[in-house]
Structure 1
Amino acid sequence: MTTSITAPPTEGTPRITTYSRRHRWQVRLVAWLPVLATAGILVAMFVAGEILFGNFITPRLISSLLLDNAYLIVLAVGMTFVIITGGIDLSVGAVVAFSGILGAQLLHTGWPAYVVIPVMVLSGSVIGLVIGIMVQVFDIQPFIASLAAMFLARGLAYVVSLQSLPITDPTVLWLQSTRIKLGGGWYITPTVVLALLTVAVAFWVLHYTRFGRTVYAIGGNEQSARLMGLPVRRVRLAVNVISGTCAGVAGWIFASYTGSGYSLTGLGMELDAIAAVVIGGTVLTGGSGYVIGSLLGVMVYGLIEISITYIGVDSWWTKIVIGSLLLLFVVLQRFIVSRRRSR
């Protein structure tokens, strides 16, 4: 009969385990710090609005905030994927215009809505694929590739029509006109449901799939990701397709929101999306970011516009406030990156 003797744990083992857990918690806290800062700014803005204007925090205002910015939420989700990999997509505003005017033109020629809507979304996917091919196959910088795609999409929108085309198809307008009452003055529309569903799916993909982990790995260090055998080229291509698809969906939502398609739609919309993503805590150099933060960034952006309207000053003050917030969050990002390097 043999007696097994189990060596007692050394004195330092629990300390190492405790340190490892504490270190992981600190790393996660630092990563979520920009998102928490955005959430804090959003809460502070609501409180300040209630104090200054009274009856500011109402179900109607929050529902309207989501309704008016549903398209921007979808755009920000796609932009988050791209920026996490260390890229950029300047074409999304032009894609919104192209998909919207294309859909309006096809509806005017008699195409059914159940065909037009997929065509609108796929038009964005194709342009995203073109950007991905330029970046991965021809080794063109994402900034230049997406800039070229921006001119391409805007030119195609002009080719389709120079005039604003009204949309009267009830299937398309149903997205915006339908109000789903939640009680207590709360309501949402199918466009809001679609936007929030996009956020939920993107969150799951980024944090619970191998594809999402590869996205973060590429943004953190692309060379290391290649050495680990990760499918860098395929994932980068897919990320650009995701961004283009989100832009196509946003074009569909925006066309439903405005009830028309217009080739001049979306001028500067890509900058709005980038601003919302950065305010939401996604690091421009890649490797860190959350779609939840991008959602909060869009909410901050929309609430700034509403607050400017309440105050009664010129709308260009919105750009000044957004610019100030961008500077603040860029400084915060530099702080976070330096802390990570020191650790």
Structure 2
Amino acid sequence: MSTLTATDSRSSALQQSLTRFRHRHASWIPVFAALVILIVMLVGAQLYFGNFLTPRVLSALLLDNAYLLILAVGMTFVILTGGIDLSVGAVMAFTGMLGASLLSTGLPSAIAIPVMLLVGAAMGLAVGVLVLFFDVQPFIASLAAMFAARGLAFMVSLSSIKVEDPAILWLQSTRLQGAPGGFYLTPTGIIALTVVLVGALVLHYTRFGRTIYAIGGNEQSARLMGLPVVRTKLFVYVVSGLCAGLAGVVFTAYTGASYPLNGIGTELDTIAAVVIGGTLLTGGSGFVVGSMIGVFVYGTIKTVISFLGADQSWTRISIGALLLVFVVVQRLIVARSSRR
């Protein structure tokens, strides 16, 4: 009898510990769900195709989505505050066109790249000023910036501008063999992973990051606590614009040219990847690591459909349907966790 009682006590204590863990780490549940989805997709693709989990495909997963990963980090900062930035794709195109135009005139990349970053940050600052000082909704403010950036890209040139600068092309063409079996990294991939690392550290180990979570959780409470709400939200949009400018550099290196229509729909891809990674659109909950996983899920979907040889229209339809399923599943997980 005493043995059964001791066993029941241990079982009850274990159950209470698991319950406390779920309550304290509920925000990580969507991230784990996205990770499970990614693993299932990779294993399923390997079983179906037989040659999916190869060094070439896995290395290309980061290579092909480095620019999207950078955009997702900036978007995570914005969404955590409860905002949105629809201008990132157009800003990426505009900064790419501007940089390519400057390089074509003979300006060195050591000057062109900082100019691209500064212009991206300035576009983000403009969105933040509209939102915070003119009380414009983030959706409308960033939509206006999207149209403005796209128009500016066409003002630079109506046609594609080829990039021949060795430093820019080096970012994409260099293959760094870091592990046996054929795995490789490129400078663009290293830049993207560095941005993820810096973003994660800033969010979790700085006052700025903690203020972002506080604003997203309850902006009014954050104001009553004396937190710098206006300054933080303004800087968040600057970070998003800066990431868009850096993505312009990476995407220009990736394609070897710039075109005014680059990045159309990229803002929606970015938002989808961030949400898949577990960041709530209402703000206050999410992680940069989750956004990185969301980008890899999105990239894996595109790669699988490419392996299947599906038509481009079906590719977009399939991606949209799968993203919708992933978002609904994660929302159900969060709702169930909250009830518990």
TM-score by length of 1: 0.91
- Using a 3 Å threshold, how does the CA distance of structure 1 residues 268 and 330 change in structure 2: closer, same or farther? same
Write the distance in 1 (CA, Å) between the matches of 2:154 and 2:168. Answer: 22
Provide the rounded CA distance (Å) in 1 between the counterparts of 2:124 and 2:24.
Answer: 32
Amino acid at match of 2:45: G
Counterpart selection for 2:185 from 169, 176, 188: 188
- Distance in 1 (CA, whole Å) between partners of 2:15 and 2:277 is 30
* Equivalent residue letter for 1:218: I
Contact 1:34–1:329 (Cα < 8 Å) also in 2:
no
Query: Aligned in 2, Cα 1:334/1:50: closer, same or farther, shift over 3 Å?
Result: closer
The 5-angstrom pairing of residues 126-141 of structure 1 reads: 126-141=122-137
Deviation sequence 1:145-198 (CA, Å, 0-9, x none): 000100111111111111100000001111001110113201000000000000
d(CA) in 2 for partners of 1:56, 1:322: 18
Say which is worse superposed, 328-337 or 209-218, in terms of deviation.
328-337
> 1 CA distance for matches of 2:270 and 2:304?
19
Structure 1 position 67, deviation (Å) = 0.4
User: What percent identity do the matched residue pairs reach?
Assistant: 61
The 3-state SS of whatever aligns with 1:186 is coil
Q: Show the counterpart of 1:148.
A: 144
Distance change in 2, residues 1:157/1:119 (3 Å): same
C-alpha contact 2:171 2:188 (8 A) present in aligned 1: yes
Q: Do residues 215 (structure 1) and 212 (structure 2) align?
A: yes
Larger radius of gyration: 1
C-alpha deviation, 1:335, in angstroms: 3.4
1:327 Cα deviation after fit: 2.4
Sort the Cα spacing of 1:341 and 1:280 in 2 relative to 1 into closer, same or farther, 3 A: closer
Residue 140 of structure 1 and its aligned partner are, at CA, apart by 0.7
Q: Distance in 2 between matches of 1:69 and 1:127?
A: 23
The structure 2 residue matched to 1:326, chosen from 319, 323, 327, is 323
Contact 2:84 2:142 in 1 (8 A): yes
| Residues 159, 73 of structure 1: alpha-carbon distance in 2 compared, 3 angstrom cutoff | same
Cα pair 2:22 2:337 within 8 Å, conserved: no
CA distance 1:337–1:62, shift in 2 (3 Å): closer
- Normalising to structure 2: TM-score of the pair? 0.92
Are 1:41 and 2:37 matched, yes or no?
yes
Q: Distance in 1 between matches of 2:322 and 2:32?
A: 14
Query: For structure 1, which segment, 279-288 or 311-320, has the greater mean C-alpha deviation from structure 2 after superposition?
Result: 311-320
Alignment of 1:53 with 2:53, yes or no, is no
C-alpha RMSD of the superposition: 1.9
- Give the equivalent residue in structure 1 for 2:95: 99
Measured after TM superposition, the shift of residue 316 of structure 1 is 2.7
Say whether 1:284 aligns with 2:281: yes
Matched, 1:238 2:235: yes
The within-5 A match list for 1:1-343 is 25-182=21-178, 183-335=180-332, 338-339=335-336, 342=339
CA distance in structure 2 between the aligned counterparts of 1:28 and 1:192, rounded to whole angstroms = 33
Q: Residues 76-103 of structure 1, C-alpha deviation per residue, up to 9 Å, x if partnerless?
A: 1101111111110000000011000000
Q: CA deviation at 1:305?
A: 1.1
- What letter is aligned with 1:278? V
The residue type paired with residue 74 of structure 1 is I
In structure 2, the gaps of 5 or more residues are: 1-12
Distance 1:302 1:158, change over 3 A: same
Deviates more, 1:327-336 or 1:43-52: 327-336
| Distance apart, 1:24 and its partner CA | 5.0
Return the alpha-carbon distance in structure 1 between the equivalents of residues 337 and 47 of structure 2. 38
Contact 1:38–1:297 under 8 Å retained in 2: yes
Question: 1:325–1:229: structure 2 CA closer, same or farther, 3 Å change rule?
Answer: farther
Q: Secondary structure at the match of 2:260?
A: coil
1:325, distance to aligned residue in structure 2 (A):
3.2
What letter matches 2:306 in structure 1?
T
Q: Distance in 2 between matches of 1:322 and 1:28?
A: 33
Q: CA distance change for structure 1 residues 332 and 230 in 2, over 3 Å: closer, same or farther?
A: farther
Task: Decide whether the 8 Å contact of 1:135 with 1:145 is kept in 2.
Answer: yes
Q: What is aligned with 1:4?
A: none
